[in-house]
Amino acid sequence: MTAQTTGLGKMNCVSLRYPAIFLSMLGLLAQPAVAQDDDYLSEISAEASKIDSKLPTQGEAEPNQDGLTDEGAAQVAFEEDLKSRYLGSYTFYKKLPRRAREEVYEEYKDGASIDEIRQKIMNRFLNQ
């Protein structure tokens, strides 16, 4: 067999074939390992999703013995306090739509004074 020279100088084509064959064989051997990793990773992902589905998300809280979340129990406490101290405001508050009551409660939670809360209740009631 005669050696052919390439444009690279004295290097022959026969010596260029072996690295190409080696690299293609290496690529074929690596594919089953990648496939096994994918199966393994999908099993891990499936297990993780099972665990995640059992945990409460950030927006959710676990219910207490009354069936209320901590947030729901706090809002009930706010409503009871409003009823015991300001019955008129509480009466208008209970007539508001659920979303408006939640907004009033959010104001309370953010530290608004009771006068601001009562004013907000009246504004919401009158603007329905």
Backbone angles phi, psi at 10, to 5 degrees: -80, 0
| Residue 18 maps to a domain | yes
Domain count, the chain: 2
How big is the CA angle at 68 (ends 48 and 108), to the nearest 5 degrees? 110
Residue 109: count other Cβ atoms within 10 Å of its Cβ.
Answer: 12
Question: Tokens at residue 5, please?
Answer: 């020279």
pTM, full prediction: 0.47
Task: Give yes or no: residues 116 and 87 share one domain.
Answer: yes
**Mean pLDDT computed over 20-46:** 65
Q: For the segment 38-68, what is each residue's pLDDT rounded down to a tens digit?
A: 777 777 777 766 665 555 555 555 555 555 5
Whole-angstrom distance, CA of residue 62 vs CA of residue 82: 25
Q: Measuring CA to CA, how many Å separate 27 from each of 20, 24, 124?
A: 11, 5, 69
Angle at which helix 70-85 crosses helix 98-109, to 10 degrees, equals: 90
Query: Could you tell me where the beta strands, DSSP code E, fall in 3-64?
Result: 5-6, 9-12
In a domain, 1, yes or no: no
Asked if 45 and 76 sit in the same domain, the reply is no
Residue 69 has pLDDT above 80, yes or no: no
86, 118 contact by CB (below 8 A) = yes
Considering the domain boundaries, does residue 4 fall inside one?
no
Same domain, 48 and 75: no
Per the structure, the complete domain to which residue 92 belongs is given by 70-126
Closest listed residue to residue 86, CA positions, set 38, 120, 36 = 120
Confidence of residue 19 (pLDDT cuts 50, 70, 90): low
Asked if residue 74 and residue 48 are part of one domain, the reply reads no
